[in-house]
Copies of this chain bind each other. A is one copy, B any other.
Amino acid sequence: MPKRVGILTGGGDAPGLNAVIRAAALTATRVYGWEMMGVLEGFDGLYHGLPLIPLTEQNVRELLARGGTVLGAANRGSPFAHPVPLPDGTIRYDDVSHVAISRMKDMGLDALIVAGGDGTMAIAQKLVEMGARIVGVPKTIDNDLSLTDVTFGFETAINTATEALDRLQTTAESHHRVMVLEVMGRDAGWIALHAGVAGAADAILIPEIPFDIQIVCQKIQQIQLSGRHHSLIVVAEGAAPMGGKQSYTRRETGVRLGGMGHLVGELLAECAAAEVRVTVLGHVQRGGQPTPYDRWLATRFGSAVVHLVAQEKWGQMIALQGTRMVDVPMKAAMRLKRVDPAGETVRMARDLGIVFG
């Protein structure tokens, strides 16, 4: 009797998700003869019993280089806190996890592959504890999951951010400007660190190292004294000044008006008496075709996770360590991996002359 395995993508999208789906489908079909079915809209789609999408060889043929996820991704849907709007306009959050699990049975899914970040892994882990047969694929564009050296999508984001720095460099130079680039990274500064080093930034501000704007100003002034009249500052969206004043982002509601990049820009305009321009890359970093490396890595993850299913390693997540695919407990993987302020790469960046505020 053919095995039937589902796959869903949860949380924000990352370039490479479709390559995971394709590789999982090809491997499951060709190697094990299983049926691979796509679950739409993350755990929400499971709960609501949305129709499954058959992921045949034919159906996944054009997915390798395609950005986003064809399965869609519900950003906040957790079966442990399912939002139910009440008549009085408030929202109640119900635990519908048992429904999600019984849906898997109803749909004939013998197992489920879940590609997601820490939030999605936390949900999956709890479902596994309730008896669900789930394995995981790490997904975070910020590269902030533990136990895997790197995640797909991270490199694509770095390429987009570095290309922006390359472009800002030339116009900064022509006009003697300070250019501030805000990149993604709410809790971890990996994108800022890697793009900043690859794009020759002068300062890199990350959540892990609270910054003193005076140090950035001194760096800018010292650069000017050396005869160079422009500089590049990379700011992770989650960076924060020492001891202090949080971004005024949170004061705004709805559409974000100004994030940490704008705050840093204003502070520098004051203290460095320089012309400052700010660019906020935003969702551009999340989108587009995955780079060849991200296609390669996502393909490895997608293919390897199918073997975890075959080995019934429920609760395990596939990971890259060195050059090898390994599997690790979801529980351990979902811990936040942050840049070590005293680690080798930050020290290296400092050695090159980059300040972290």
Which residues of chain A have a CB within 8 Å of any CB of chain B?
A: 12-13, 15, 17, 23, 26-27, 30-31, 57, 61, 64-69, 72-73, 75, 149-150, 155, 158-160, 162-164, 166-177, 179, 194-195, 197-200, 226, 228, 254-258, 262, 265-266, 269-270, 276-289, 291-293, 295-296, 299-300, 303-304, 321-325, 344-345, 348, 351-353
Contacts and interface: CB of A to CB of B under 8 A. Distances in A.
A8 to B, nearest CB: 13
Contact of A179 (B283, B289, B325): B283
Contact of A66 (B68, B170, B262, B277): B170
A150 B64 CA distance: 23
Pick from A171, A172, A195, A269 the residue with the most CB of B within 10 Å: A171
A150 to B, nearest CB: 8
Contact of A173 (B23, B68, B226, B276): B68
A168 B284 CA distance: 5
A126 B12 CA distance: 53
Number of identical monomers bound together in the oligomeric complex: 4
Contacts of A174: 13, 17, 68-69, 72-73
A168 B278 contact: no
A285 B279 CA distance: 10
Nearest to A275: B75
Interface centre among A30, A149, A228, A323 (most CB of B within 10 A): A323
A255 B163 CA distance: 23
B31 A162 contact: no
Given A13-B170, A171-B287, A278 B255 contact: yes
Contacts of A61: 228
Contacts of A64: 198, 200
Contacts of A228: 61
A235 to B, nearest CB: 13
Contact of A26 (B75, B175, B179, B352): B352
22 contacts: A57-B226, A65-B166, A67-B169, A72-B174, A72-B175, A73-B175, A149-B323, A159-B291, A160-B167, A162-B292, A166-B287, A168-B287, A198-B295, A254-B270, A255-B277, A256-B278, A257-B262, A280-B280, A300-B348, A303-B352, A321-B322, A325-B344
A208 B283 CA distance: 28
A263 to B, nearest CB: 9
B13 A348 contact: no
A265 B255 contact: yes
Which of A66, A177, A281, A321 has most chain B Cβ within 10 Å? A281
B170 A288 contact: yes
A278 to B, nearest CB: 6
Contact of A158 (B17, B158, B169, B292): B292
